[in-house]
Amino acid sequence: MQEERTKHRENLPEILYQIREMLHRKQVVETLVSKQTMPRHDLVQTLVARQEFTLLKQKLNRLHPADIAFVLESLPLEERYQVWELVEPEHNGAVLLEVSDVVRQDLLASMDHHEILEVADHLESDEIADLVPDLPEDLVPELLDTLNSHDRAQLQTALAFPENTVGALMEFEFIGVREDIVLEVVLRYLRRLGQLPLQINQLMVTDRQGLLRGVLPLRELLLHPPETPVTEVMNTEPILFYTDDEAREAVSAFERYDLLSAPVINAHHQLVGVLNVDAVMDYAQETAEKEIFYQAGLREEEDLFAPIWKSGTNRWPWLALNLLTAFIASRVIGLFEETISQLVALATLMPIVSGIGGNTGTQTTTLLVRGLALKQVNSDNFYHLLFKELSIGMINGVLWGSVMGMVAYLLYRNSSLGLVMMSAMLLNLMLAALAGVLIPWTMYKLGRDPAMGTSVLLTALTDSMGFFIFLGLATLFLLPS
CA distances from residue 290 to 96, 298, 361 in whole angstroms, order as listed: 19, 9, 20
Is 304 a member of any domain? no
Specify whether 35 is located in the same domain as 137: yes
Q: Among the three residues 97, 130, 165, which one is the final residue of a domain in this structure? A: 165
- Examine the domain organization and report whether 213 and 345 are in the same domain: no
Regarding whether 412 and 366 lie in a shared domain, the answer is yes
Q: Which pTM value belongs to this model?
A: 0.70
Secondary structure class of 179 (helix, strand, coil):
coil
Backbone Cα Rg of the chain: 30
**Of the residues 258, 293, 328, which one is the last residue of a structural domain?**
293
**Do 104 and 182 lie in a common domain?**
no
pLDDT at res. 404: 92
Are residues 121 and 208 both part of a single domain? no
The answer to whether residues 147 and 266 belong to one domain is: no
Which CATH number is 321's domain given? 1.10.357.20
Q: What is the pLDDT of residues 154-193, one digit of tens each?
A: 888 888 899 889 999 999 989 999 999 999 999 999 999 8
Residue 299 lies in a domain: no
Q: Determine, yes or no, domain membership for 421.
A: yes
282 and 334 share one domain: no
Q: Do residues 238 and 214 make contact, with C-beta atoms less than 8 angstroms apart?
A: yes
Residue 182, classed as helix, strand or coil, is strand
Are 59 and 182 contained in the same domain?
A: no
Report the number of distinct structural domains present in the chain.
3
DSSP 272-285: EEEEEHHHHHHHHH
What's 110's domain CATH number?
1.25.60.10
Last residue of a domain, one of 239, 263, 293: 293
Amino acid at 177: V
Q: Tell me whether residue 428 is in a domain.
A: yes
Residues 321 and 435 in one domain: yes
Under a CB-based contact definition with an 8 Å cutoff, are residues 238 and 261 in contact? no
Read off the pLDDT of residues 6-54 as tens digits, 9 standing for 90 and up.
Answer: 444 557 888 888 888 888 777 766 666 565 555 554 544 555 556 667 7
**Which three-class secondary structure state does DSSP give residue 217?**
strand
Is residue 171 included in any domain, yes or no?
no
Considering the domain architecture, whether residues 450 and 333 belong to the same structural domain is answered as: yes
Residues 323 and 445 in one domain: yes
Residue 5 falls inside a structural domain: no
Same domain, 107 and 191: no
- Domain assignment of residue 226, given as a range: 176-293
Tens-digit pLDDT string for the chain (481 aa): 444 444 445 578 888 888 888 887 777 666 665 655 555 545 445 555 566 677 788 888 888 898 999 999 898 888 899 889 889 888 899 999 999 888 898 999 899 989 899 988 888 888 888 888 888 888 888 888 888 888 888 888 888 899 889 999 999 989 999 999 999 999 999 999 888 887 789 999 999 899 999 999 999 999 999 999 999 999 999 999 999 999 989 998 999 999 999 999 999 999 999 999 999 998 988 887 777 776 666 655 667 777 777 777 777 776 777 778 778 888 888 888 888 888 888 888 888 888 888 888 888 988 888 888 777 888 889 999 999 999 999 999 999 999 999 999 999 899 999 999 999 999 999 999 999 999 999 988 888 878 776 777 888 888 888 889 999 999 988 887 5
